[in-house]
Structure 1
């Protein structure tokens, strides 16, 4: 069996990466795309490779020569590569197509070798490799029948997003038999080029063939196998992450800080989100107004604050909406004065933003990283304001509401502030009932500043919402002066506008995740090398007690199972100990990670 690789294009969208260089010569982690593809073809037992070259083709020849890994290399030149599309490149190699069974592929692909191995081993003689359509994909898609026959090739111009659930993306790897090429593909290729010219794509010929009663072309569906088509700089960046060496993959995933919809195979147990809210009905309402929300300006900050005041049942002048809690933490840090007391280990954003104010840290001296009201009162003696994350992050430790109020009064008597982060409080056993964002509480304790991320418990991190509340109107005025008038987009605004209709659903979702957390805790406790710390949040702090490094376990889970957990190596408060944090997801995902952790020998 032979292979034909189309490698004549300019690759303009890759910018400097293809300046004076062809696309297949772009390197991913030190190796060119063409060399990676040839390695895979050699492993699959291919004996001859025909490369159709054009732009900077001599550089390909200089790199590869006339053979590679025991495969014969044959070059076909497309002299008008800048005036034609890939249909003409394949047309130039048509005589090779009718000579042997062929693997046809494009040069801008990076893919797992097992795709070729499975494709060649498959019984059907003529196959197009396809994958279920995902958000990062672009280009030609196909629809299939129940027997994986290709019903239609659909170009980008005919793409219908209402039909996403029916679409499969062509991976641009094909297995074509000599007979199929001779009787079907090449005759249609010649006729198509003669009738419509050379500025088309070879998939168009396959599209015509599928209209025949017996086209003999089927789809070969892949699932977990990884691949990426590299057309532009973003594709390149994503492919670097997907195909990162084991030693670099964790670092590259961590450095993205989200955007993991581009990697649908990844199970994210690192970032903390409610998997049970919003529900389908609320999602559909947001979708129904998508065009208006996208095409029109959001309201200014005063209206956003009004919506938040209604959502949280407090006065408008005592609340401000942020682009996530992070914006509010930053704004607050610029108006506070005096040393801040922080309990370590903690959420890094606070330490980083409050560092200029001066920090005093307290590390609980017990294995659960728990602390009492008495501990907090004692610690607060040396600071002007105390930060309390309740439940704590990453320990999940929870201080009862009555004790938090006692602490607030204690600090008020000393003319000190309590900064209370309630981002995870709705996950606690009493759920949203535990919140202190209430008008009577805020009025009674003007020294109380409450910050709440809406991303975590409300399940909408993409909307970037958070609130800060306080009855000290002078402080609120200063904080609001640090916030842009258009800091929240229309989708976040609309979420707050319609939330009241779904409040009962939200309470139910919080109760569901609380129940699932308790079940998950029991399962994790059965893993002998984990010491799981009880939590009132949607995550568990776990110590590794088998002598293994937390970074090593985190890396293995990612590389071998596409599971992403939080490695706490180097976090203040965990010196010389190995800790990880595992988020609570839905029951199916939680069972999956437990199975991996329990049945693997680490």
Structure 2
């Protein structure tokens, strides 16, 4: 068996990366694509490697040479690479297909070496490697029957999103027997080129063969194996994350700050969201209005504030809508110029927005990072405002409504502000949840600034919504001056418009997550190397007590199981301490992480 690699293309979509070199010379984490492919091929039983080159082909030949780690390398030159597609390149090398069994692959792929081992070991002589369709994929897809025969190849023009659950994307790795190539594929390949020209793709030949012949080509379905096709700079960026080494993988995920839907196999236990809302009916309503929402301008800030006042039952003059809570937090500290007391550990957006020169730190002297109203009163004496996140992030410490109101009365008498973040209070439980967004309360306590992240509590982080409420019209005006008139998109606006119909379902979802949290706590507490701190939020702060540092555990879960948790290393108050934060997801996902933690425990 030998290998045939198609590497003639120009890779224009990669811009500067392919200005003076072919696509397979692009480096992913310091290693070229072609070296990765050749190293994988060297470790399987092949006799030689055939490279079809074109654009900057001499540079590639000079880089690889005629022998790669003991395997002979032959070159086929496509001199009209800028006028043809890969069907022509394969046609030029067709004699090699007829010469021996062949592993055929494209040079813009990055993949786990184990894929080739599995393909070689598979008893079927003719194989197309495919993967379940995911949103990032582009190009030809296949439809399979129950025996994993390829029933049809579906080109871009025939692709239908309604059928995407039935599609399998071609990975562009094939195993062809000599007999299949000689008696079936090559004759069709030559006839197709003669009829339709050189500017086509070799997969189209397989598509035609499914119509008029028994293709005898089995699909080899990937499951959790890593692979990626690199066509542009975004593909390259994602591939560098997927194929990062053990030490750097975590850093590369962390610096993305979200967008993890690009990595469908990743289980995100780091970022916080409501797994039980929105419900299916609400999502269907969004889908039915998708075209209008995408193609029309949103309303300005006045309308957004009106919708928020309706949602929370306060006066429109008392509330602002932000592009997530983060925008409003920054607006607060641009409008408010005094010092602020912050209990650490905390959500870093607050001290970073205020500036650490304005922040006075309070670090509770206990392992759970809990505190009392009296401690906060004493701490607040030397500041102009006190921040209270309730439940706190990341500790999960919770204060009752009576305790918070007691603190508010004290701070009002002392002429100090209470900046109160209630982003997670809806998860406190049916008998504990409450809100301070109340017209009368805001009117009588103008020192109260309430911030709430709708993205987190309502499970719509992609809509980027948050609200700020305050009874001081002048302060609201100052904060509003920091916001754009169109800071909310149409999807966020529509959420505010229709949420009233779904508030009952939302309340049930919050109760459901609080119940699942309590169950999850019992299971998580059984892991011998974790000390789990009780919480009223949808996350747990856990001390890593044995066997690992917090960073080691976080990297292990990510590298081995594609589970992403929050490593709290580097946060103020965690110096020389080992803490992680684990989000509460739904029943199935929570059981998944528990099972993997138990595997680690038992090993």
TM superposition score normalised by structure 1: 0.99
> What is the aligned partner in structure 1 of residue 415 from structure 2?
415
Partner SS for 1:236: helix
**Aligned equivalent of 1:6:** 6
**Retained in 1: the 8 A contact 2:427–2:433?**
no
In the alignment, which residue of structure 2 is the partner of 1:146?
Answer: 146
What's the secondary structure of 2:355's corresponding residue? helix
8 Å Cα contact 1:431/1:511 also seen in 2: no
Instruction: State the partner residue of 1:217.
Output: 217
2: CA distance, partners of 1:533 / 1:182 = 66
Aligned to 2:132: 132
The match for 2:406 is 406
**By how many angstroms is 1:599 displaced?**
2.4
Matching of residues 314-329 of structure 1 within 5 Å? 314-329=314-329
SS in 1 for 2:116: helix
Paired residues, what number? 602
Supply the distance in 2 between the matched residues of 1:356 and 1:167 (Cα, whole angstroms): 52
Is this contact kept in 2: 1:66–1:72, CA < 8 A?
A: yes
Cα shift readout 1:504-547 (whole Å, capped 9, x = no counterpart): 11111101100000001011111111111000000000111115
| 3-state SS in 2 of match to 1:334 | helix
Residue in 1 aligned with 2:117?
Answer: 117
TM-score where L is the length of structure 2: 0.98
CA distance in structure 1 between the partners assigned to 2:209 and 2:42 by the alignment: 30
Aligned counterparts of 1:312 and 1:115: Cα–Cα separation in 2: 53
1:551: how far off? 0.8
**Are the aligned partners of 2:429 and 2:514 in contact in 1 as well (CA < 8 Å)?**
yes
The answer to whether the 8 Å contact 1:210/1:217 transfers is no
Which residue in 2 is equivalent to 1:443? 443
Deviations 1:457-513 (A, max 9, x none): 111101000000011111111111111000000001111111111111111110110
Give the distance between the partners of 1:370 and 1:97, measured in 2 at CA: 70
What is the aligned partner in structure 1 of residue 565 from structure 2? 565
Give the Cα separation in 1 of the matches to 2:399 and 2:474.
Answer: 29
> 1:70: how far off?
2.3
Go from structure 1 to structure 2 and tell me whether the alpha carbon gap of 1:193 and 1:500 turns closer, same or farther (over 3 Å shift).
same
What are the ranges of 5 or more consecutive residues in structure 1 without an aligned counterpart? none
Question: Matched residues in 1 for 2:74 and 2:471: separation?
Answer: 77
User: What residue is the counterpart of 1:465 in the other structure?
Assistant: 465
* Distance in 2 between residues matched to 1:236 and 1:327, nearest whole Å: 30
Q: Shift in Å at residue 156 of structure 1?
A: 1.2
Q: Are 1:28 and 2:28 matched, yes or no?
A: yes
- Structure 2: how far apart are the matches of 1:27 and 1:351? 38
Whether the 8 Å contact between 1:557 and 1:563 is mirrored in structure 2 is yes
State the Cα distance separating 1:589 from its structure 2 match: 1.0
2: CA distance, partners of 1:480 / 1:464: 17
Could you list the per-position Cα deviations for residues 220-254 of structure 1 after superposition, in whole angstroms to 9, with x for gaps in the alignment?
Answer: 11010000000000000000110011111110000
Give 1:223-238 correspondences, 5 Å limit: 223-238=223-238
Task: State the match for 1:575 in structure 2.
Answer: 575
2: distance between equivalents of 1:121 and 1:281? Answer: 47
Equivalent pair of 2:397/2:535 in contact (CA under 8 Å): yes
Structure 2 counterpart of 1:300: 300
Secondary structure of 1:501's counterpart equals: helix
Cα distance in 2, alignment partners of residues 432 and 28 from structure 1: 50
Aligned-partner Cα distance in 2 for 1:491–1:4: 48
Aligned mates of 1:76, 1:276 — CA distance in 2: 56
Residues 340 and 357 in structure 1, CA contact (< 8 A), matched pair in contact too: no
Q: Is the 8 A contact 1:431 1:510 kept in 2?
A: no
CA distance in 2, matches of 1:454, 1:284: 20
- Give the aligned partner of residue 241 of structure 2: 241
What's the CA shift for 1:213? 4.5
Moved over 4 A (4+): none
